[in-house]
Structure 1
Amino acid sequence: MQFKQIVGQDAIKQRLINSVKENRVSHAQLFLGPGGSGSLPLAVAYAQYLSCEDKQPDDSCGECSSCRKYQKLMHPDLHFSYPFFAKHKDDTAITFIEQWREAFITNPYLNLDTWRDYLDAENKQANINIAECHQIIKKLSFKPFESAYKILILWLPEYLDKEGNALLKIIEEPQPNTLFILVAQNQDQILNTILSRTQLIKIPALTYDDIKSHLMEKHNQTEEAAAEIAYLCNGNLSEALTMLQQDNKGYHTSFVQWLRLCFGNKGLEVMGFVDQVAKMGRENQKNFLRYGISFLRECCLLLSGAGSLVHLPAQELETAKKMTNVMDVDQSQAIITELEKAHYHVERNANPKILFLDVSLQIIKVLNYKTIRQNADT
């Protein structure tokens, strides 16, 4: 993995490159970033750059023996640890290394759900067990074979239970030229004993423009389609790539139609719309609701006089301006609340017809009678 293959994150890339050039490579680093931000591919690209035999000013060469092995994730000095679904108590990450290589090479922005699909997970819980901790200690007790560094990339250390304390000594006093890179999403879920021994590198979510450009250039999306997905995924490229695999787009047109039917209190037509949405499939229903939430938040910005902060394509911005003439901030926020609750219930397999009919009735009450449901969670 080379830095040039990673979407955006130019400032982080330069910081990592400079740390190598200036010989300031910390032996234990925590790459902390939200899902889909590129933390994991950044860690692999950083490791490849450290091991490259012909470093370029801004990237690894991609051609030397070390880089070629890194591209297949088969370098003898590169090790991975990650959550897995153990079938036996002595299972470790190496048990699933072939699936891991396939998953990462297919999609470096993978999340735990994507990783689960590569394994026979059944109903097991993902974790990093004590056997894996002992395996890490064993692997890192040896000197590097080929490169200047022996590198362990530990993905999602949040899944280390108290057994993770077994790693403290080797993290604090590693063998010379041994590097730990922890790649995490939730700082609060990491053992404090491990967290205190790492250098924190915060990785921000990807920008709207970065994702939009990537979808257009690498996935042949039209500007309109790329803009909608970039808007919906909220900086998460993993979510954006998942959306590419789904059939229904055009959420703007459908959502505005829904609001108009509710505003007009057109009962039969609302029922017909609910039937259509119920056939969309769970993932598209979630994306449809997510779009509505995002769109109405932009409307709230317009209503609050913060139009300069609105980030909508021209056509959608024009529609949003028209909608601000028929609803106020309180009504917008009330509808957002209903949509967020609906998203929660869709994730938990609620009956879509009943769910979307109830939401439609609540929107009708909000828009026509300014009735806002109280104690909505009960």
Structure 2
Amino acid sequence: MFFKDVVGQDEIKKRLIRSVQEERISHAQLFSGHSGTGKLPMALAYAQYISCKNRSDEDSCGVCPSCHKYQKLAHPDLHFVFPIFNAKQFNKPVSDDFLPKWRTMVSANPYFELSQWLSHIDAGNAQGEIYERESESILRKLNLKSFEAEFKVMIIWLPEKMNQACSNKLLKMIEEPPSKTLFLLITENEEGVIGTIRSRAQLVKFPFINNTALEQALLKLEGVDPAIVPDAVHLAAGSYIKALEYLTPGDDEQFYFQKFQEMMRFAYARKVSELIVWADEMAKIGRDKQKAYFAAALRLVREYFVSNLKRSEITYMNLDEKEWAKKFAPFINERNIVAFADEFELAIKHISMNGNPRIIFMDTGLRMVRLIKR
């Protein structure tokens, strides 16, 4: 991965390059920011730049043996940790068991979300987690001498998914790191990372990507209609992932919108039997997708409420959502918008606390019956 391939974030690129040139590389760095802002590709570009044998003032060379191995994500001094699940084909699995699939996904596009990763590894209903046994694997790898590069690099994607025991063991390694070791922790929920790790890692805040950089990146994509790029940039609100979803809607996004429509239609018509069937179906899709659905519902009611205010410049909807707004938006108003938001936020909380999903979806659906005609 090259710095030039990371969308936007020019100031962070300059800062990281300068840290290498001035030999001031902090041994533990926390890349924090919203989904789609480029934290993982930046970490890969940074690690490749550090190990490059012939780097320039702006990027790695791309032709030395180290760069070739980094581009295949197969450098012996590059290690990954990421959320996984207890797959039946592995005995006490760790990230290395899923490494071939990780390389495939990251090589195809390093901009993705947890739900997409879990779908890629067929996690089903399982929630992604970094287990305690992962710390033993990390310790074993980092206590080895570097094979080729000056630094051993450990990229930990979503450390907020670590269980407490693993976090505590990782803290000890960060406090007393092996020589020439670099930890790059990539989080979308900074508060979810234990405070003692946050306090010992150098924080790198990733802002939303500016619109100019987003537009330039989208126009470079093969087969993109330039006429719809401005709408994609507006909808993305600084996230490259959302921009790509606008251009080529994923199955998950289409599914969430369809199920939101069904829930609201059944609630408006007071079709309780259909809501029961709907709740049963939603209870089977896996907890991460369930939380993603309620997050999507929360976004949609916000957008439909704002569209009632005739403020198109601050609404962020794709074409299908805009079309449905013509009929549905009037039902989201000042009398029920807060209650709608409270219900969806509460549902996310209950799903996160491992509540019974069938009961949660049924209860939420029934509450929509009361709210939609308010």
TM-score (norm 1): 0.70
Structure 2 counterparts to residues 41-80 of structure 1, below 5 A: 41-80=41-80
Runs of 5+ in structure 2 lacking a partner? 252-267, 270-288, 317-325, 352-356
Structure 2 counterparts to residues 261-300 of structure 1, below 5 A: 290=299, 293-294=302-303, 297=306
Instruction: Identify the residue that residue 18 of structure 1 maps to in structure 2.
Output: 18
CA deviation map 1:28-82 (0-9, x unaligned): 0000011111001100100000000111111111111111100000000000000
Distance 1:288 1:247, change over 3 A: farther
Distance (Å, rounded) in 2 between the aligned partners of 1:207 and 1:343: 30
Distance 1:299 1:216, change over 3 A: farther
Given that 1:29 and 1:199 are in contact with CA atoms closer than 8 Å, whether structure 2 keeps it comes out as yes
Instruction: Identify the residue that residue 279 of structure 1 maps to in structure 2.
Output: none
Supply the AA of the counterpart residue of 1:189: G
Supply the AA of the counterpart residue of 1:246: P
The answer to whether residue 250 in structure 2 is matched with residue 244 in structure 1 is: no
Runs of 5+ in structure 1 lacking a partner? 249-269, 272-281, 314-322, 363-372, 374-378
How far has the Cα of 1:128 moved from its partner?
0.8
How far has the Cα of 1:288 moved from its partner?
10
Instruction: Identify the residue that residue 137 of structure 2 maps to in structure 1.
Output: 135
* Secondary structure at 2:186 match in 1: strand
How far has the Cα of 1:139 moved from its partner?
0.2
1:225 to 225, 228, 238: 228
Distance (Å, rounded) in 2 between the aligned partners of 1:224 and 1:341: 37
Greater CA radius of gyration, 1 or 2? 1
Distance (Å, rounded) in 2 between the aligned partners of 1:201 and 1:104: 21
Instruction: Identify the residue that residue 173 of structure 2 maps to in structure 1.
Output: 170
* Secondary structure at 2:129 match in 1: coil
Distance (Å, rounded) in 2 between the aligned partners of 1:301 and 1:194: 45
The answer to whether residue 193 in structure 2 is matched with residue 195 in structure 1 is: no
Given that 1:232 and 1:287 are in contact with CA atoms closer than 8 Å, whether structure 2 keeps it comes out as no
Distance 1:145 1:239, change over 3 A: same
CA deviation map 1:86-132 (0-9, x unaligned): 23562111001000000111110111111112213122221111111
Instruction: Identify the residue that residue 111 of structure 1 maps to in structure 2.
Output: 113
How far has the Cα of 1:222 moved from its partner?
3.1
Given that 1:232 and 1:294 are in contact with CA atoms closer than 8 Å, whether structure 2 keeps it comes out as no
Distance (Å, rounded) in 2 between the aligned partners of 1:147 and 1:311: 48
How far has the Cα of 1:2 moved from its partner?
0.2
2:186 to 161, 183, 190: 183
CA deviation map 1:134-177 (0-9, x unaligned): 00000000121101111000000001111121122221121211
Distance (Å, rounded) in 1 between the aligned partners of 2:250 and 2:170: 45
TM-score (norm 2): 0.71
Distance (Å, rounded) in 2 between the aligned partners of 1:247 and 1:50: 35
How far has the Cα of 1:241 moved from its partner?
1.9
Distance (Å, rounded) in 2 between the aligned partners of 1:332 and 1:165: 47
2:150 to 148, 151, 162: 148
Distance (Å, rounded) in 1 between the aligned partners of 2:225 and 2:170: 48
How far has the Cα of 1:339 moved from its partner?
7.8
Percent identity, aligned pairs only, is: 37
Distance 1:173 1:289, change over 3 A: closer
Given that 1:338 and 1:359 are in contact with CA atoms closer than 8 Å, whether structure 2 keeps it comes out as no
Supply the AA of the counterpart residue of 1:107: N
* Secondary structure at 1:200 match in 2: strand
Distance (Å, rounded) in 2 between the aligned partners of 1:157 and 1:288: 26
Distance 1:232 1:341, change over 3 A: farther
Distance 1:192 1:291, change over 3 A: closer
* Secondary structure at 1:218 match in 2: coil
Distance 1:291 1:169, change over 3 A: closer
Distance (Å, rounded) in 2 between the aligned partners of 1:78 and 1:289: 39
* Secondary structure at 1:29 match in 2: strand
Instruction: Identify the residue that residue 281 of structure 2 maps to in structure 1.
Output: none
